[in-house]
Amino acid sequence: MSSLELKIPPLAQVAVFAGLMWLAARAVPALAFGFPGQLAAALLLAGAGALVAAAGVLAFRRAHTTVDPRDPAKSTELVATGIYRASRNPMYLGFLLALAGWGIFLGNVLALAALPLFVAAMNRLQIAPEERALRARFGESFTRYERSVRRWL
């Protein structure tokens, strides 16, 4: 599995999980659910996810550092301001919220069950190797930041 670290772009992982969630919802319709305001809840979650992810990208752009997560060694700045005071990974948190909105839209328990798997995949394939690279690049500054701000939220 370490051969996949930093190889699959996070947006591609989101697309794969979105597809798997759709397939799961279609494969097991007995786990479908619905509730009043379901579409509004789905849109609210997806919209919040887009805003959170965009805030992360904007913070990186302002710091003039790379947004490309496949090569964290290219980072020129440790961003710990703005949304990065609340989450070390707001872009990934935004993706998770968007997928949660998708799961609510699909209205299927099995589709929502994919969310913890997405978190596990991101932790293993993306976040852990990024953190190793940032620790090597920024040393004690990153270690202090890591201790003071949670990985997701």
pLDDT tens, position by position, 107-142: 999 999 999 999 999 999 999 999 999 999 999 999
Compute, in degrees rounded to 10, the torsion defined by CA atoms 137, 139, 84, 133. 40
Band the pLDDT of 1: cuts 50, 70, 90. Answer: low
Tell me the sheet residues that pair with 32. Answer: 108
Instruction: Quote the CA–CA distance of 148 and 37 in Å, as a whole number.
Output: 37
Full-model pTM:
0.96
Q: Which two tokens stand for residue 140?
A: 């004690």
pLDDT tens, position by position, 7-26: 999 999 999 999 999 999 99
Q: What is the pLDDT of residue 73?
A: 83
3-state secondary structure of 108: strand
* Percent share of the chain, pLDDT over 70: 99
Instruction: Quote the CA–CA distance of 40 and 46 in Å, as a whole number.
Output: 10
pLDDT at 44 over 90: yes
Residue with tokens 């710990």: 80
